[in-house]
Structure 1
Amino acid sequence: MRRTMARHPAQGKAIGGIATHIQEAMVTELDRRMVFLGTAVMAGAAKAAGMPTMPPAPDDEVGWAHIAALYPVTRAITQLENGYWGNMASPVRDAHRAILERLNRDSSWYARRAMVKDQAIVRDRAAAAMGVLPEEIGMCRNAAEGLSALISQFRDVGAGDRILYSDTDYEAMQGCMVNLARSRGALAIKISLPRAPTHETAIAAYEQAFAANPGLKLVLLTHISHRSGLVLPVAEIAALAKARGIAVIVDAAQSFYQLPFAIPEFGADFVGMNFHKWVGAPLGAAAIWIRKGRTDAIAPSPAEPDARPDDTQARVHQGTVDYSAQLTIPAALDFQAGLPRAAKLARLQYLRNRWVEPLRGLPGLEILLPDDARLHGAITSFRIGGRTSTADNIAITDALLDRFGIMTVHRAGLADGTCVRVTPSLFTTPAEVDGLVPALRTLVAELVR
């Protein structure tokens, strides 16, 4: 999306997916801009997308089977690695195909004329789903691209300053923090979060790090770790950081639409997130958010040397991208509109607990997260006793797939070793998750002596 686009005046069309916990002042502003159009319109969009009018209870298998049927996914294996990207539901896939066809047919005639208006609608729909103002966001291809810009172009770090990140953060973002420090003569501090975290100890780890490193200028917080699945108490930690004058960047790549929240609730300065994971848009749809009044803290992209100080989009230069992915965001939000995020999370946690609870306490099996619902969503990782190397955990994922037909993925980088990540999705059945239980019992018996 080009940063010079004017906002389309006819944006009072169906808008779905807006968070229910937007701050009162933000709701007022969004109402004024005709971005929030009410639950009746969202319900209509959801019905048109094939979603039920009422969300099923977490264990309502008839209701969830109806939703699962809208996902054209393979059943040749049990897919429990759904943290990479989200499958498009059939209505979203159909909308994407139609957009691709138009782009291929009309090319620049559409792209340089009518598409500008459609992109402005996309931006407003995306902002509404995030609970923010359209001018506060910039579109990009993925959270890594957006967060790389936010970190690498952060201006307020100089020689002798300190910045902070943890072992739960995404590898590329850790690399960006290290390179930011190197390029400015600063010091990058890496902390390790507790091996068996609780809500309190996770907060305490950052509080202690803040106290031990006076003069910190920036902290990176990952809302849901792609490694263990830990849900970090971001709002509480961000409040501690802000009290010390520390700028906060939040990585919400895994949490956006997996958990119910609006972006302003973090209390952060900058956020990067995806639409192609838990929103279910096509690959290549993501955004950054910069709090109003903080845009100039991020230098413009080198490709945008004359950008205005308040131009958020200029912080990520897009060039020519896969426009079809971004243009399909409204269809993905329409589909999600019929499933409140709290109901979605309840189902994902129900599926997660189907395998965690029977295996909790099994000798030789370490489940990395507790059962505190504040600390997990769909994702939870495990280790088999003594098997902490990358090779060990690749072998475990291979055994689960080759012998039991279950797809998982290893995740390296935690201070205490590599693990295996398990991630159900909305189309996952209880029987599929239940199959992991005997598979892990068998592998533990074989590998732990």
Structure 2
Amino acid sequence: MNNRRSFFRKSAALGMGAFGIDSLFNQLHAEHFSNAEKYWKADSNDNEDYWSVIQDAYTASKSEIIILNNGGVSPSPLAVQEALEKYNRAAAQGPSYYMWRIMDKGREPLRQRLAKLAGCDAEEIAINRNATEALNTVIFGLPLQKGDEIIGTIQDYPNMIQAWKQRQMRDGLVYKQLSFDFPIENDEQIVKAFADAVTPNTKIIHVTHIINWVGQIMPVKKICQMAHSKGIEVVVDGAHTFGLLDYKIPDLDCDYFGTSLHKFLSAPVGSGMMWIKKDKIEKIWPLLCNSQPKSADIRKFETLGTRSFPIEQAIGEAINFQEGIGSKRKQERVHFLKKYWAEKAAQIPGVKIHTSLKPEFSCAIAGVSVDGMKPEEVDAKLMKDHKIHTVGINWENIHCVRVTPHVYTKLSDLDKLVGALEKIAKKA
């Protein structure tokens, strides 16, 4: 009888997941976060005591290497790690029961919480595995015809570029790519470039909210307003902005949006989200088969077959963590971290910063280069000699090392980065 009661208590706890009073965030971090508020000084950058509490919530802050490639994938805080382990252990006791009869019931509460964070209707949110899956669903699901034009850029993410090229090959679409020389601190210059490329056949504009190579924030809302005035729809790649910038998806005024939750939201690797404006859901074909492909129900995009329910449910603890900090505070902190190291690095002879330092044009990501050295050489030197993990970028007209801090990044680690760049530049 006791075992039976324990079994049902365990099942109920799994069903509540991250959204009950016993969430792992509440157990591990909530009290520390609450106590840290006494250290917070409004309108001041001198809040290192507060941020040290946030840093301690990430095991990655104690890594043997300095992780500055959070633009690729971010580590999760302890609560998310332990949630994933908890759900995996439970699923291992009987996957077909715990996954499909217990954890599966957690998808609707999760959808509601994601919608709250995104500032939209929960009936516009589909939960999937990453931005590539979300945006490919839209790209291949749009009912476009031969001769219809799509406008993107050569600086978009490769998986999105290849998806549009594949539709061009398959369906005879016309895919046009603009090229920009970043950084650009003039929204109108970017909007005009898109507007000038529009023809009567243009049906879609594809915009990357933050250019992943160098961190340029694109003027998405202005592009959307221009596009809508001409009867054109807009697809937004928000892989690097959701969980980083303080905005609500409807405020962008776009039609379709996809993101990865394992970047700045710090959810488990392999978690993503798609948003489609409610009145457009019906016309988009699912990427994977569904019994009602023309349905107006957003859930038709979640027919993924067997997938990781533990990963999906652990997203909830990442949302708790995000809300524990606050989106505005988080954006301002990460921008401060980027500016902190980049301003110092820019003073080093032979070192160049390839990203605007103004908050309206960039946030976390910045590109850096050293005269006389290839990006991959600088990247290798940082790792081999200084145990600093970045990524060398050689893409189209962009050649630099991408550096991306996160809220768990310490100022002392960024000081080490600047010192390393100075040593590398002297030897170049």
Alpha carbons 1:165, 1:177 under 8 Å: kept: no
Residue 394 of structure 1: CA displacement?
A: 1.4
Q: Which residue of 1 aligns with 2:92?
A: 104
CA distance in 2, matches of 1:260, 1:395: 35
CA distance in 1, matches of 2:289, 2:224: 31
Among 283, 295, 299, the residue aligned to 2:281: 295
> What aligned pairs does 1:154-233 form with structure 2 within 5 A after superposition?
154-155=142-143, 157-200=144-187, 201-210=189-198, 213-233=199-219
- Cα gap change, 1:241/1:328 in structure 2, threshold over 3 Å: closer, same or farther? same
Residue 384 of structure 1: CA displacement?
A: 2.6
> What aligned pairs does 1:362-377 form with structure 2 within 5 A after superposition?
362-377=348-363
- Cα gap change, 1:159/1:202 in structure 2, threshold over 3 Å: closer, same or farther? same
TM-score (norm 1): 0.84
Alpha carbons 2:32, 2:53 under 8 Å: kept: no
Q: Which residue of 1 aligns with 2:52?
A: 65
Alpha carbons 2:288, 2:304 under 8 Å: kept: no
Alpha carbons 1:49, 1:334 under 8 Å: kept: no
Task: Tell me which moved more, 350-359 or 377-386.
Answer: 377-386
Residue 49 of structure 1: CA displacement?
A: 7.1
Residue 52 of structure 1: CA displacement?
A: 3.2
Q: Which residue of 2 aligns with 1:409?
A: 391
Letter of the 1:162 partner, please give it.
Answer: E
Cα shift readout 1:7-38 (whole Å, capped 9, x = no counterpart): xxxx999869xxxxxxxxxxxxxxxxxxxxxx
Letter of the 1:329 partner, please give it.
Answer: I
> What aligned pairs does 1:315-354 form with structure 2 within 5 A after superposition?
315=301, 317-354=303-340
Among 258, 263, 268, the residue aligned to 2:249: 263
> What aligned pairs does 1:74-85 form with structure 2 within 5 A after superposition?
74-85=62-73
Among 401, 404, 409, the residue aligned to 1:420: 401
CA distance in 2, matches of 1:421, 1:401: 13
Residue 316 of structure 1: CA displacement?
A: 5.0
Task: Tell me which moved more, 71-80 or 419-428.
Answer: 71-80
Alpha carbons 1:86, 1:278 under 8 Å: kept: yes
Cα shift readout 1:211-263 (whole Å, capped 9, x = no counterpart): xx342111111111110111111111111111111111111111101110111
Task: Tell me whether 1:123 sits opposite 2:111 in the alignment.
Answer: yes
Alpha carbons 2:147, 2:201 under 8 Å: kept: no
Identical-residue share of aligned pairs (%): 27
- Cα gap change, 1:440/1:331 in structure 2, threshold over 3 Å: closer, same or farther? same
Among 359, 375, 380, the residue aligned to 1:393: 375
Q: Structure 2: which 5+ runs fail to align? A: 1-14
- Cα gap change, 1:355/1:257 in structure 2, threshold over 3 Å: closer, same or farther? same
Letter of the 2:235 partner, please give it.
Answer: I
Q: Which residue of 2 aligns with 1:19?
A: none
Q: Structure 1: which 5+ runs fail to align? A: 1-10, 17-40
Alpha carbons 1:281, 1:329 under 8 Å: kept: yes
Cα shift readout 1:398-448 (whole Å, capped 9, x = no counterpart): 0111112211101232x323221001111111111112222222323333x
Paired residue secondary structure (1:338) = helix
Q: Which residue of 2 aligns with 1:279?
A: 265
Cα shift readout 1:292-351 (whole Å, capped 9, x = no counterpart): 100133212351253342022323531111111111121111122111111111111111
Q: Which residue of 2 aligns with 1:51?
A: 33
Alpha carbons 1:50, 1:91 under 8 Å: kept: no
Q: Which residue of 2 aligns with 1:30?
A: none
Letter of the 2:196 partner, please give it.
Answer: Q
> What aligned pairs does 1:148-159 form with structure 2 within 5 A after superposition?
148-155=136-143, 157-159=144-146
Q: Which residue of 1 aligns with 2:417?
A: 436
Letter of the 1:104 partner, please give it.
Answer: A
Task: Tell me whether 1:356 sits opposite 2:337 in the alignment.
Answer: no
Residue 128 of structure 1: CA displacement?
A: 1.6
Paired residue secondary structure (1:419) = strand
Q: Which residue of 2 aligns with 1:242?
A: 228
Q: What's the RMSD between the two structures over aligned residues?
A: 2.5
Alpha carbons 2:216, 2:356 under 8 Å: kept: no
Residue 353 of structure 1: CA displacement?
A: 1.2
Letter of the 1:102 partner, please give it.
Answer: A
CA distance in 2, matches of 1:437, 1:62: 22
Paired residue secondary structure (2:413) = helix
Residue 44 of structure 1: CA displacement?
A: 7.5
Tell me how many residue pairs correspond in the alignment: 404
TM-score (norm 2): 0.88
Q: Which residue of 2 aligns with 1:383?
A: 369
CA distance in 1, matches of 2:56, 2:177: 44
Q: Point out the structure with the larger helix share.
A: 2
Letter of the 1:410 partner, please give it.
Answer: G
Residue 188 of structure 1: CA displacement?
A: 0.7
Paired residue secondary structure (1:221) = strand
Alpha carbons 1:67, 1:427 under 8 Å: kept: yes
CA distance in 1, matches of 2:315, 2:285: 27
Cα shift readout 1:105-155 (whole Å, capped 9, x = no counterpart): 132222332333212211222222211112211111111111111112211
Alpha carbons 2:142, 2:285 under 8 Å: kept: yes
